[in-house]
């Protein structure tokens, strides 16, 4: 009986995995009043560090690592930013194809999306789209996994 109880306890504790990675969220930059707060929040959900003079985003992230059956996390990170012109090249995704245009419907709901209206330089790859307006130093960025 003791052995069964011990095995049962181990099974229960093993099934309750501890979540790793950032917390699940569905957050718009409109909820954060300062540029510094927006940058700090965004950096929890992206692997890169950039400089911004203006930043609008919508981060939808579902952390599936904790719970009875852990699985891969899902995310849809969309942003429109004004960045230093010297840093625009850092936004070009490695291996992404250059496109004349892309479906920009994903910009709906992103604060500051109107800044992306003049973008004509687009990069498209698996799970990523980036648009750059070099004249106005504007970047539109989307990264997703489902």
User: Is the per-residue pLDDT at 14 higher than 50?
Assistant: no
Please give the Cα distance from 93 to 26 (Å, whole number): 25
Query: Residue 18: its pLDDT value, please?
Result: 60
Query: Residue 72: its pLDDT value, please?
Result: 77
CB atoms within 10 A of CB 108: 9
Residue 97: which domain range?
Answer: 2-145
Query: Residue 70: its pLDDT value, please?
Result: 74
Please give the Cα distance from 11 to 68 (Å, whole number): 11
Please give the Cα distance from 44 to 64 (Å, whole number): 16
* Domains identified in the chain, total number: 1
Its pTM stands at 0.83
Q: Which whole-number Å values give the CA distances from 86 to 25, 51, 55, 90, in the listed order?
A: 32, 10, 17, 9
The rounded mean pLDDT for the chain is 88
Q: Where are the alpha helices (DSSP H) in the chain?
A: 2-15, 35-42
What is the percent of the chain where pLDDT is above 70? Answer: 85
């Amino acid at each position: 009986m003791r052995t069964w109880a011990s095995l049962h306890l181990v099974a229960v504790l093993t099934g309750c995995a501890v979540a790793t990675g950032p917390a699940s969220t569905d957050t718009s930059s409109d909820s954060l009043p300062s540029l510094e707060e927006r940058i700090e929040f965004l950096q929890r959900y992206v692997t890169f560090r950039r400089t911004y003079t203006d930043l609008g985003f919508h981060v939808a992230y579902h952390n599936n690592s904790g719970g009875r059956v852990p699985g891969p996390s899902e995310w849809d990170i969309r942003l429109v930013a004004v960045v230093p012109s010297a840093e625009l090249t850092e936004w070009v995704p490695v291996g992404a194809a250059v496109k004349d245009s892309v479906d920009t419907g994903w910009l709906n709901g992103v604060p500051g999306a109107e800044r992306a209206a003049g973008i004509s330089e687009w990069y498209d790859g698996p799970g990523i789209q980036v648009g750059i307006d070099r004249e106005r130093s504007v970047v539109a960025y989307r990264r997703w996994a489902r």
